[in-house]
């Protein structure tokens, strides 16, 4: 009976509400825009269209249009076998028998990638695709089954391939070595499965190493990056990819304004190897580098402690064959200044096996020019 009383009270009340709403809309159609503000054009619109801010906004729109057919939505599926915890108890196993077949379950994941060739090569993160049994790539509501060409855990870079019937729109690659703090930074991806989300920020730091992760120096940005953005492009104001969005630093698991991207120059060397070998064959120089102190630099007549001090040369290594000696200070490689041992390591990691490097060393206060051919790390 109580249900009926509520029902009977509710129906007349609803009729009154409907009548009031109809009266409101009838009044609103024939009235001026009291509730919706001034209906005339904003007086500053024409002035704003002449400003730099409007030009930047227009540039953002153009960049999105440039990449809306390049950034892809990746969904993954992994088949896992799970034994019910009930059977972890030996008493239960004894009682119910040993025929406790594990349950088969599907584990799904989300990520982002971007097209790097017209014929369907796609770049993403290693952690997005690693161990997955099925990978689907969605490009503007078209689904493609992707296969893994290669994947590298150290740099967290993965390479996929799809077989499109038409030519695709690849990304434009920039030069991550020229990125500076304060530059515009644009991230496009699929955070939480929200397809083609466009966020804007700036470059917060370059060469970031003082965070606990593998894979060398990273670009730091405050452009919003969230779960699902992994593997997507970090883009500069010219519409060029300068990095691959990888991870965030967060105490809550959500965005806190600190995101990291793999520099695209690092990625290019890795992607070439993944395409060619399906794995990364890392080259090496064959030296142990020691820190050069201010006192050591002063004794050697150097203006500062920049350079990589060679403390050991491995026998039959590229360095040994190329003529590098213990005590040499490596100052330049391929016209790039070596300011620290880290600079040398980064440069060698970017080199391909078989590359010949022009190495400038300081030896006994004299400059020596050497050639060193990079070999695969044993």
Helix (H, G, I), strand (E, B) or coil at 236: coil
Helix (H, G, I), strand (E, B) or coil at 343: helix
DSSP 160-182: EE---SS---PPPB--GGG--TT
* Reduced 3-state DSSP string for 103-133: EEEEEEEEEEEEECCCCCEEEECHHHHCCCC
- The rounded distance, in Å, linking the Cα atoms of 182 and 120 is 33
230 a catalytic residue:
yes
- The rounded distance, in Å, linking the Cα atoms of 352 and 26 is 74
Q: Please name the residue that has the structure tokens 């290693």.
A: 126
- The residue among 163, 274, 260 whose CA lies nearest residue 218 is 260
Distances (CA, A) of 36 to 18, 21, 28, 40, 164: 22, 17, 10, 11, 48
DSSP 50-103: TSHHHHHHHHHHHHHHHHTTTEEEEEEEEEEEE--GGGGSHHHHHHH-S--PPE
**Given 152, 156, 222, 346, which residue is catalytic?**
156
Please give the backbone phi and psi of residue 149, each rounded to the nearest 5 degrees, phi first. Answer: -80, -45
DSSP 4-47: HHHHHHHHHHHHHHHHHHHHHHHHHHTS-SSTT---SPPTTHHH
The two beta strands, 287-290 and 71-82, are unpaired
Say which DSSP state 193 is in.
G
The DSSP element (H or E) to which 198 belongs, if any, is strand 197-208
Which tokens go with 14? 């609803």
**Given 151, 204, 230, 317, which residue is catalytic?**
230
127 a catalytic residue:
yes
- Residues annotated catalytic, as ranges: 127, 156, 230
């Amino acid at each position: 009976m109580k249900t009926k009383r509520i029902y009977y009270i509710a129906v007349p009340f609803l009729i009154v509400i409907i009548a009031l709403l109809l009266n409101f809309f009838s009044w609103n159609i024939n009235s001026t825009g009291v509730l919706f503000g001034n209906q005339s054009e904003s007086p500053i619109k024409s002035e704003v269209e002449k400003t730099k801010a409007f030009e930047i906004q227009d540039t953002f729109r153009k960049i999105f249009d440039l990449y809306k057919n390049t950034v892809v939505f990746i969904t993954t599926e992994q088949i896992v076998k799970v034994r019910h915890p009930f059977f972890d108890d030996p008493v239960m196993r004894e009682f119910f028998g040993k025929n406790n077949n594990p349950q088969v379950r599907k584990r799904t994941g989300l990520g982002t990638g971007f097209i790097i060739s017209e014929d369907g090569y796609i770049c993403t993160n290693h952690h997005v695709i690693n161990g997955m049994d099925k990978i689907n790539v969605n490009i503007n509501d078209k689904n493609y089954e992707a296969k893994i060409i290669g994947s590298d855990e150290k740099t967290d870079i993965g390479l996929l391939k799809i077989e499109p019937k038409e030519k695709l729109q690849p990304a434009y690659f920039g030069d991550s070595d020229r990125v500076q703090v304060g530059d515009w930074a644009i991230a496009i991806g699929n955070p939480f499965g929200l397809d083609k989300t466009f966020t804007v920020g700036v470059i917060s730091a370059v060469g970031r190493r003082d965070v606990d992760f593998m894979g060398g120096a990273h670009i730091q940005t405050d452009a919003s990056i969230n779960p699902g953005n992994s593997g997507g492009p970090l883009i500069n104001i010219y519409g060029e990819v300068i990095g691959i969005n990888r991870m965030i630093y967060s105490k809550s698991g959500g965005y806190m304004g600190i995101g990291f991207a793999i520099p695209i120059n690092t990625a290019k060397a890795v992607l070439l190897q993944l395409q060619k070998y399906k794995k990364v064959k890392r080259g090496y120089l064959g030296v142990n580098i020691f820190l050069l102190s201010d006192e050591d630099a002063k004794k050697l007549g150097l203006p500062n402690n920049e350079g990589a001090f060679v403390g050991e040369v491995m026998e039959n290594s590229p360095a040994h064959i190329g003529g590098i000696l213990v005590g040499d200070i490596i100052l330049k490689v391929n016209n790039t200044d070596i300011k620290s041992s880290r600079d040398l390591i980064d440069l060698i990691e970017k080199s391909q096996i078989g590359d010949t490097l022009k190495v400038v060393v300081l030896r006994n206060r004299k400059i020596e020019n050497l050639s060193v051919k990079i070999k695969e790390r044993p």
